[in-house]
Structure 1
Amino acid sequence: MNDPLYNPPVFRQLSAPELAARKRRNVWIAIGLVAFMVLLFTTTFLRMMHNQADARAHQSAPVGSIDR
Protein backbone atom coordinates (compact mmCIF):
# COMPACT_ATOMS: atom_id res chain seq x y z
CA MET A 1 0.00 0.00 0.00
CA ASN A 2 1.28 3.38 -0.91
CA ASP A 3 -1.32 5.26 1.11
CA PRO A 4 0.50 7.91 3.21
CA LEU A 5 -2.29 7.82 5.83
CA TYR A 6 -2.03 4.07 6.36
CA ASN A 7 -0.20 3.14 9.52
CA PRO A 8 0.39 -0.58 9.87
CA PRO A 9 -0.40 -1.91 13.33
CA VAL A 10 2.52 -2.24 15.68
CA PHE A 11 2.48 -5.32 17.86
CA ARG A 12 4.67 -5.57 20.90
CA GLN A 13 6.66 -8.68 21.62
CA LEU A 14 5.45 -10.60 24.64
CA SER A 15 7.98 -11.44 27.30
CA ALA A 16 8.70 -15.02 28.36
CA PRO A 17 6.50 -14.82 31.50
CA GLU A 18 3.65 -13.35 29.44
CA LEU A 19 3.94 -16.14 26.88
CA ALA A 20 3.96 -18.74 29.66
CA ALA A 21 0.88 -17.15 31.24
CA ARG A 22 -0.90 -17.16 27.87
CA LYS A 23 -0.07 -20.82 27.37
CA ARG A 24 -1.34 -21.74 30.85
CA ARG A 25 -4.53 -19.76 30.26
CA ASN A 26 -5.10 -21.47 26.91
CA VAL A 27 -4.57 -24.91 28.45
CA TRP A 28 -7.12 -24.19 31.19
CA ILE A 29 -9.61 -22.87 28.64
CA ALA A 30 -9.16 -26.07 26.61
CA ILE A 31 -9.61 -28.24 29.71
CA GLY A 32 -12.78 -26.34 30.63
CA LEU A 33 -14.14 -26.70 27.10
CA VAL A 34 -13.48 -30.45 27.02
CA ALA A 35 -15.08 -30.86 30.47
CA PHE A 36 -18.16 -28.97 29.26
CA MET A 37 -18.37 -31.20 26.18
CA VAL A 38 -18.13 -34.33 28.34
CA LEU A 39 -20.86 -32.97 30.61
CA LEU A 40 -23.16 -32.32 27.64
CA PHE A 41 -22.46 -35.75 26.14
CA THR A 42 -23.06 -37.53 29.44
CA THR A 43 -26.28 -35.65 30.13
CA THR A 44 -27.59 -36.32 26.63
CA PHE A 45 -26.64 -40.00 26.78
CA LEU A 46 -28.29 -40.53 30.17
CA ARG A 47 -31.48 -38.78 29.07
CA MET A 48 -31.63 -40.91 25.93
CA MET A 49 -31.22 -44.08 27.98
CA HIS A 50 -33.98 -42.95 30.35
CA ASN A 51 -36.31 -42.19 27.43
CA GLN A 52 -35.63 -45.59 25.85
CA ALA A 53 -36.47 -47.32 29.13
CA ASP A 54 -39.74 -45.37 29.34
CA ALA A 55 -40.59 -46.24 25.74
CA ARG A 56 -39.99 -49.95 26.39
CA ALA A 57 -42.17 -49.81 29.52
CA HIS A 58 -45.01 -48.17 27.60
CA GLN A 59 -44.75 -50.64 24.72
CA SER A 60 -45.15 -53.65 27.00
CA ALA A 61 -48.20 -52.24 28.80
CA PRO A 62 -51.44 -53.82 27.56
CA VAL A 63 -53.74 -51.51 25.65
CA GLY A 64 -56.74 -50.35 27.64
CA SER A 65 -55.39 -51.52 30.98
CA ILE A 66 -56.56 -49.66 34.03
CA ASP A 67 -54.15 -49.23 36.90
CA ARG A 68 -56.09 -49.13 40.16
Structure 2
Amino acid sequence: MAYLDPAAGRAREGRQAAAQADMAAVTTTAAAGATPTKAEFDKVVTDLANARATINGLLAKLRAAGLLAP
Protein backbone atom coordinates (compact mmCIF):
# COMPACT_ATOMS: atom_id res chain seq x y z
CA MET A 1 0.00 0.00 0.00
CA ALA A 2 2.04 2.88 -1.38
CA TYR A 3 -0.04 5.55 0.32
CA LEU A 4 1.14 4.26 3.72
CA ASP A 5 4.80 4.65 2.74
CA PRO A 6 5.91 8.17 3.79
CA ALA A 7 9.00 8.07 1.56
CA ALA A 8 6.93 7.24 -1.51
CA GLY A 9 4.51 10.02 -0.65
CA ARG A 10 7.31 12.59 -0.37
CA ALA A 11 8.73 11.44 -3.69
CA ARG A 12 5.44 12.31 -5.40
CA GLU A 13 5.09 15.72 -3.82
CA GLY A 14 6.05 18.76 -5.85
CA ARG A 15 9.13 20.73 -4.90
CA GLN A 16 8.76 24.22 -3.55
CA ALA A 17 9.62 26.86 -6.15
CA ALA A 18 12.17 29.57 -5.42
CA ALA A 19 10.90 32.85 -4.01
CA GLN A 20 9.81 35.57 -6.40
CA ALA A 21 10.01 39.22 -5.44
CA ASP A 22 6.74 41.16 -5.45
CA MET A 23 6.08 43.33 -8.46
CA ALA A 24 7.07 46.96 -8.04
CA ALA A 25 4.33 49.46 -7.31
CA VAL A 26 2.56 50.81 -10.36
CA THR A 27 3.87 54.25 -11.31
CA THR A 28 1.10 55.31 -13.65
CA THR A 29 -1.89 57.45 -12.83
CA ALA A 30 -4.90 58.42 -14.88
CA ALA A 31 -4.05 60.82 -17.70
CA ALA A 32 -4.85 64.43 -16.85
CA GLY A 33 -6.27 65.21 -20.28
CA ALA A 34 -7.92 63.36 -23.11
CA THR A 35 -4.55 62.43 -24.62
CA PRO A 36 -1.75 61.01 -22.46
CA THR A 37 1.62 62.76 -22.57
CA LYS A 38 4.81 60.98 -23.61
CA ALA A 39 5.89 60.82 -19.96
CA GLU A 40 2.56 59.18 -18.97
CA PHE A 41 2.86 56.71 -21.84
CA ASP A 42 6.44 55.87 -20.90
CA LYS A 43 5.32 55.07 -17.34
CA VAL A 44 2.75 52.62 -18.71
CA VAL A 45 5.43 50.96 -20.84
CA THR A 46 7.72 50.68 -17.79
CA ASP A 47 4.96 49.20 -15.65
CA LEU A 48 4.14 46.68 -18.37
CA ALA A 49 7.80 45.65 -18.65
CA ASN A 50 7.96 45.17 -14.85
CA ALA A 51 4.80 43.06 -14.89
CA ARG A 52 6.16 40.97 -17.76
CA ALA A 53 9.44 40.36 -15.92
CA THR A 54 7.59 39.31 -12.76
CA ILE A 55 5.29 36.91 -14.62
CA ASN A 56 8.16 35.40 -16.60
CA GLY A 57 10.14 34.98 -13.37
CA LEU A 58 7.25 33.13 -11.77
CA LEU A 59 6.83 30.87 -14.78
CA ALA A 60 10.56 30.08 -14.87
CA LYS A 61 10.54 29.18 -11.18
CA LEU A 62 7.50 26.95 -11.56
CA ARG A 63 9.20 25.17 -14.48
CA ALA A 64 12.40 24.74 -12.46
CA ALA A 65 10.36 23.25 -9.60
CA GLY A 66 8.82 20.77 -12.02
CA LEU A 67 5.31 22.15 -11.64
CA LEU A 68 5.03 23.29 -15.27
CA ALA A 69 6.21 21.58 -18.41
CA PRO A 70 9.38 23.13 -19.90
Name the TM tier (shorter chain).
Answer: 0.3 to 0.5
Structure 1 or 2: larger helix share?
1
More RCO (CA 8 Å, sep 6+): 2
TM-score by length of 2: 0.46
TM-score by length of 1: 0.47
The structure number with the bigger radius of gyration is: 1
